Amino acid sequence: MDFDDPADIFDQNSELSKQLQYYLPSEYVKGLFDGFNRKTRSRLPEFVRFALANGWLDTASFFNISIGCSSDQSSVSAYSRSTQTFEDARGGNNGNIGGGYGFWTAEELDPYWQVDLENICRIERVTIHNFLGARDQCTNLAILISSDQTNWSLVATKLDNAPFGGADGTPYHFDFPMPPRARYCRIQLVGHGALHLDEIEVFGLPD
């Protein structure tokens, strides 16, 4: 994965391709996607294009593309697990959904958490898993996206003050019927307060 492109790795004469012919693509494509996503993200777009060309994926397929990516947040608090914003933010996309909090900002106006997807991606869904111990504190949220981390566009809001869950099976989903394309995705609390969430999942595919 580090050195060979997908066309070489999955060449029809390779031992790997010979073994894969005994399985349906649905049985292995997610595992391969996750492998490229975690180990060699720079080659993930090549894998997606290869998988689409070979019928392993269709344009309706999407995966959690934010897990393990670099993330950051607007500030830290006494409840943060690090004094560095980027270190505390890692708890928001480490793949652990347990009902607690993955990160915690200071109390401020419009605090945020954001993730660098490393490539321009088609964002299909953002799923927010709330901190179950304080689910009524982070209810009004906004989703912003950017391709350069300088110019941000608001693409969705939740302003109904309704609490939601997460690990209990009731996370909040922002779905995008017309998927926006961006490299950075920011989740922002609307108003004054502290942003503390369990896990944030950004689903889609890289361009």
Is 139 domain-assigned? yes
Give ∠ CA 147-152-153 in degrees, rounded to 5.
105
Same domain? For 94 and 55 the reply is no
Is 97 domain-assigned? yes
> Phi/psi of residue 119, each to 5°?
-135, 160
Same domain? For 28 and 110 the reply is no
Is 109 domain-assigned? yes
Q: Please provide the DSSP assignment of 59-117 as one string.
A: TT--EE--TT--EEES---TT-S-SSHHHHHGGGSSS--SSS-S--PPSEES-EEEEEE
Q: What tokens does 201 get? A: 């999942």
Same domain? For 87 and 188 the reply is yes
Same domain? For 69 and 56 the reply is no
What local confidence, expressed as pLDDT, does residue 28 receive?
81
Q: Which residue has the tokens 């607007």?
A: 74
Final residue in a domain of this structure, among 15, 37, 61: 61
pLDDT digits 0-9 by tens, 52-104: 888 888 877 788 999 989 999 999 999 999 999 999 999 999 999 999 999 99
d(CA 29, CA 47): 10
pLDDT digits 0-9 by tens, 123-160: 999 999 999 999 999 999 999 999 999 999 999 999 99
Please list the residues that pair with 202 across neighbouring strands. Answer: 126
What residue numbers bound the domain in which 76 lies? 65-206
Number of other CB atoms surrounding residue 156 within 10 Å: 16
d(CA 98, CA 130): 10
Q: Please provide the DSSP assignment of 34-59 as one string.
A: HHHHHH-GGGHHHHHHHHHHTTS--T
Is 50 domain-assigned? yes
d(CA 89, CA 85): 6
pLDDT at position 1 over 70: no
Same domain? For 81 and 138 the reply is yes
d(CA 2, CA 43): 8
> Phi/psi of residue 62, each to 5°?
-155, 155
Q: Return the CATH number at 140.
A: 2.60.120.260
pLDDT band (50, 70, 90) for residue 2: low
Q: How far is CA 161 from CA 67, 139, 158, 197, 201, in A?
A: 27, 5, 8, 16, 21
Tally of structural domains, the chain: 2
Is 80 domain-assigned? yes
Q: What is the widest separation between alpha-carbon atoms in the chain?
A: 59
Same domain? For 101 and 21 the reply is no
pLDDT band (50, 70, 90) for residue 50: confident
